[in-house]
Chains A and B, each alone.
Chain A
Amino acid sequence: MYLVAHVDTKVCSETACKLCTQYCPEANTILYDNDMKTAFIAVDRCKACEICVSVCDNMAKHNAIKMVMISDIDHAFEMSKFGFRPNEWDHIEKPSVAVAEVAATGSGKD
């Protein structure tokens, strides 16, 4: 198993900083849903460099992104499966992680 970045959509949707989408070195990996006003990760493209985590913690100070085991994410978004279709994004259930699991396997920050 391996770690991928995971955006807490509840925290993210309350802000509109979009910094992680700009600083991610991978193209179309952190996507932004304009309807739900949240960023989310295409897990099949994430290389787990944690730049988004440091951007969200230190630059934006929202602490919305954590590194999570891929197997702990429900409804993980895969670009190869769904393709880049922003119109259909609000029909897809957003990736989520049970809170206890985040605490257990999170990046260990804070």
Chain B
Amino acid sequence: MSFDNLKMSPALEKYMTKEYRDLVERGPYGKQKKVSEMGTFKEILEEHPMCAGCAMTLFIRLTMIGLPSPEHTILVGTAGCGRLALTQSSIPFIYGNYGDTNAVASGLKRGLAMRFPDQPKDVVVMAGDGGLADIGFSAVMHSWFRKEKFTTIMLDNEVYGNTGGQESGMTEKGSILKMAPKGKLFEKMDMIGLAKTANVAYIARVVPTNPTRVASTIRKAVLIAREIGPTFIQAYTSCNIEYAIPTPKVLDDAKEVETSRYGFMEIMSDEAREFLESLEPAKKAKGKKSESEETVTAS
């Protein structure tokens, strides 16, 4: 994939759907879009069948803004709510079997690095807490121990929302759910701690209460995964159906959870920090360059 692949052949342009033409002409390609620009450019994410007011969708939408080069990205996911929205985007999506997302992504990333040595291709695994912490647990841990260079994003809704509300390893202790009527008996799994043990290069914990921060966290994670090693983001994306949160209160709940137990956290290895700092001047120079280009075209 590249932007050239997305472009339409002129002869076939009139047969393409309105949405696709808008995406190619007014999409976020080529220049990093800011969160504050949302609503003024065509987004990669299209209409999707996820529930009204789902915080996970909000997070996925912000993720797609944060991706440094969406035209060179492949998403890997698995069964779960997230895939309902992830498949409705113009980013190639690979539906791994339950449990093997990170194994698929490992092979994919290595293959892409071999096939495109000059063009960095990003692989991003985005799956739920069940797909990564329960069923895909061993593949996740092993990909971290092998230092595979891709980003793992956990959409942590703390429940199996898609199948009727079973408790997952990431459910809080004591949570009463439809399929856990006595309340969960065990502690929430400490995936951040496990990632630390595996020496993951960049670990972050976010709640989508601050869109700019979500986008910049994703950007950092994907950039570090290009050069340094595995990165992991754990995002609280509440399930308003299983936890019976009225949709107008979804963000209030996110704020409450953020202040009580899910605060923003970022752990970066020294190598990753140096890499990000080395990007900064290049980024500034690049920004200036594109600005001057813009003024030239405008005049």
Which residues from chain A sit less than 8 Å from chain B, CB to CB?
Answer: 18, 21-28, 30-32, 34, 39, 45, 47-51, 53-55, 58-59, 80, 83-86
Contacts and interface: CB of A to CB of B under 8 A. Distances in A.
Nearest to A107: B248
Interface string B33-71: 001101110111111101111110110011010000000
Contact of A27 (B21, B26, B47, B250): B47
A45 B57 CA distance: 14
A26 B21 CA distance: 20
A72 B97 CA distance: 47
B40 A54 contact: no
A51 B39 contact: no
A86 B64 CA distance: 20
B76 to A, nearest CB: 21
Interface residues of B, number: 35
Contact of A50 (B22, B38, B53, B58): B53
B178 to A, nearest CB: 21
Contacts of A59: 251
Given A50-B247, A51-B248, A54-B252, A32 B39 contact: yes
A4 to B, nearest CB: 11
Given A49-B52, A49-B247, A25 B40 contact: no
Interface of B: 18-19, 21-22, 26, 35-36, 38-40, 42-48, 50-55, 57-58, 61-62, 64, 211, 247-252
A54 B255 CA distance: 13
Contacts of A85: 22, 26
Contacts of A31: 39-40
B42 A28 contact: yes
B250 to A, nearest CB: 6
B274 to A, nearest CB: 31
A84 B16 CA distance: 14
With most chain A CB atoms within 10 A of its CB, the pick from B18, B35, B39, B43 is B39
Q: Give chain B's interface secondary structure class.
A: helix
B39 A54 contact: no
A108 to B, nearest CB: 12
A55 B22 contact: no
A21 B249 CA distance: 17
A31 B40 CA distance: 6
A54 B55 contact: no
A86 B26 contact: yes
A84 B22 contact: yes
6 contacts: A25-B54, A27-B61, A30-B39, A32-B40, A49-B52, A49-B247
A21 B22 contact: no
A47 B57 CA distance: 12
B158 to A, nearest CB: 18
B207 to A, nearest CB: 13
Contacts of A50: 53, 247-248
A27 B46 contact: yes
A18 B36 contact: yes
A55 to B, nearest CB: 7
Kindly name the residue among B44, B46, B51, B52 whose own CB sees the greatest number of chain A CB atoms within 10 A: B52
Contacts of A24: 58, 61
Contacts of B48: 26-27
A28 B39 contact: yes
A28 B53 contact: no
A54 B52 contact: no
